[in-house]
Structures are given as C-alpha cells and as structure tokens.
Amino acid sequence: MSTDFVFLLQAVAWPLVLLLAWFVGERLHERWQVPRVTSYVGVGLLGGLVNLPGLTTDIPGLPFLANVALSLVLFELGYRINLRWFRHNPWVLLQGVLESIATFGLIYWVTGWLNLPIDQRLIIAALSVSASPAGVVRVANELRSAGQATERVLHLCAINCALAVLALKLVVGYWHLSTSGDLVMAAFGSVHVVATSVAMGGLLGVVVPWLLRFRASQARDMTVVFALSVLLLTTAAYGLRLSPLLAALAFGIVARERRVHLTNAQRDFGTAGDLLAVFLFVYIASLLDWAQVASTLWLGVLLIAVRTASKVAFGLAAARLSGITERKGVLTGLALTPMSAFAILLLEQSRLMGFEPAVAVLSVLTGMMLLQELLGPVITQRALRAARETHVTKE
C-alpha cells in the first residue's frame, strides 16, 4: 500500500465512516426497526476491527467533540427532569439512589472474585452505576415515547449519571490520596470537581433563560442559543479540568426550573445534533480494542447480568410504591440497560486528566462495553414498546 494512498485513507476515514454509519442506520431502522445508534456502533466497531487508517489513531480534538455531543444529550435529559416530581413522588428518587448504591456494592463484590486491584474494582463499580443518556434519550426520542415508564427511565437515568460521576470522582480522589498522600489533590480531584461542575452548570442555567427574556425568541433561535451555551460550558469545563457531563446535566435541570421548555421539534438539537450523535457512537465504538474482546467477553456477560438484575429488582420493588404496575417496573429497569457511551467518555476524560488506572479498566471492560453498545439500545427500545408508551410504529 503506497504512502499516498494511506494518507488519503487517513484524511477521509472519519467522513467516510460517518456517512456509511448514517446510511446503514437509516436503512436498518427503516427495514427492521433497529435503533439507529446500534447501527452507528456496529459501523464503528467494524472500522476498528479492520484498523482503518485515521479512524483508530489518536487524533487531538476528538475527545472534546465527543464530550460536546454527549453534553448536548445530557442537557436535553436535564431539561426533561422535573424536580417537583421528586417531592410529590419521593419513591422514584429513593429508588434511584438505593439502586445505585446496591449496584455499586454488588459489582464491587463480584469483581472481588477476579482478584482485580481494589482501584480497578472501585472504578468498574462506579461506572456500572451509570446509564447511558445518549442511548436512552436517543431511543426514546426516536420512538416518541412518553408515559409513566418513560418518565421514570429518564429521571432514573439522570440520577444514575449524577451518582456515577460522584462515585468516580471519589475513587479518583482516593487514588490520589493512596498514591501521593496529598489530601489537597485528592479533594481537588473529587469533591471540588463535582461541586464546581454543578455550580457552573447551574449558573448558566440561570443566566441563559434570563437573557432570553429580553427578546421574543423563536424555537429555532432557542435551540441555537442552548447549543452554543453547551459548547461554552464544555469548553470552560475542559479548561478548568471539571466534568462537562455533570455541568451539562445541571444546566438542563436548572433551565427547566427557570420555566424554559424546548418543544418536541427541538429534541436531539436538529440536524447538528443528529450529526454529532452519529460521530459520538462511532467514536465510542472505535475506542474498543478488539484484541481484548475474547478474553473479557465472559466477564462482560457476568457484569451485565448483575447490573441488570439490580436495576430490575429495584424497579419491581418500587413499582407499586411509586404508582405503576410491577410489569412497568420491570420494563423500567430493563430500559436502563445502556451504559457504554457515558461510561467510556468518563474513563477517557479521567485518563486525559492523568488518572492512570483508567487505561487498564477500559481493557478489562472491553467485552462488557461491546455487548452494551450493541444490545443496550435494542433492549431499551423493546422495553419502551412493551410498556406501550411509544407513538411511532412505522416510518
């Protein structure tokens, strides 16, 4: 293979794969109703498998772009969260918190059988708490899903994400303390990051709606304003070494509380959001190392089974208490299956900030992430359909 041809492949790899992912996603969704994000992941995995030049190389700027894409989804998830609902129905909040704690404990206990280092067990347990907002929100929007189960899935997803970030930051702080003995650095890497990220997102959630009141903005204008605000927030969080994902979630929640509502037409942030979603799932899939799949697949199956059992069990236990049937409680737990996009970006962000165990953990979790990326959105789609809350049967 000539040098010029390799250079050409490197130059066109990402545009080519993104175009292919979009085409495959549309075709499979139209013909067999496969979630689009699953197709995007499949194309990214194939690109990584053939080691396409330019796709699997470490290109500066791609992690930042992926965080922008996921931050947009987290903002959208945040503005769909109604904090007042937690006061009227505290069982949903209690379910999310207790289930997160139980999942963390169970995964930490199970990984103890494998003789993994304690820091890796803590990281895996923290990541297992999370649910992928990109997978859940994109599938829910694709189906135009709305109802009791859907609202619980979205609210529980937000709780899982917030607690997963908190747990991982505490693990990072513990690691800094155990390796360097520097208490200040440990606090900076955990509590400070979480508190400052939430404060920064909350501040923007107050300022942006206040500025919008000075003009009668159309729906399209509001979408642009919020998209640019998320971009600003992500850039600032990167520069200050904070969590852009947690900041975006806080931004969306506070914006909702300030009586700013986006219409259904603005979901997914339009064409730009669709493009970033294609990139996000292809990028996440390209990070997985196929050499680790065979040796970690059995571990992935075990961890997925334990994690899913925890979410389903708490969904079932809290069903009647929170006002839904046991059947919808089980389906709510199943719909929270996706976790890979959020978890992988958390690991990547930690790695870029000098958290050394993140590299080893991604290798250990390769099998789990591969299965979650491919099957997670499908399970969410089937669960929401089984709950009879979708409003799209054929496109």
Closest by alpha carbon to 152, among 346, 380, 395, 393?
A: 380
Closest by alpha carbon to 314, among 106, 133, 165, 143?
A: 106
pLDDT at 185: 62
Alpha-carbon span 96 to 282, nearest angstrom:
29
pLDDT at 211: 83
Instruction: State the amino acid at position 24 in one-letter form.
Output: V
User: What's the number of CA atoms in the CB half-sphere (13 Å) around residue 86?
Assistant: 14
| pLDDT for residue 72 is more than 90 | yes
End-to-end alpha-carbon separation of the chain, Å? 43
- Per domain, the residue ranges of the chain are 67-386
Q: Say which range, 9-18, 245-254, 256-265, 367-376, has the weakest mean pLDDT.
A: 256-265
The CATH-assigned architecture of domain 67-386 is Up-down Bundle (1.20)
How many residues in the chain? 395
pLDDT per residue as tens digits for the range 274-302: 999 999 999 999 888 888 888 899 999 99
Rounded to 5 degrees, what angle do the CA atoms 264, 165, 259 make? 35
Which range, 219-223, 271-275, 277-281, 389-393, is most confident?
A: 277-281
Q: What are the structure tokens assigned to 153, written together?
A: 């899935």
| pLDDT for residue 245 is more than 80 | yes
Q: What are the structure tokens assigned to 84, written together?
A: 């007042």
Question: What percentage of the chain has pLDDT greater than the value 70?
Answer: 88
pLDDT per residue as tens digits for the range 18-48: 999 999 999 999 999 999 999 999 999 998 8
Closest by alpha carbon to 204, among 239, 255, 244?
A: 255
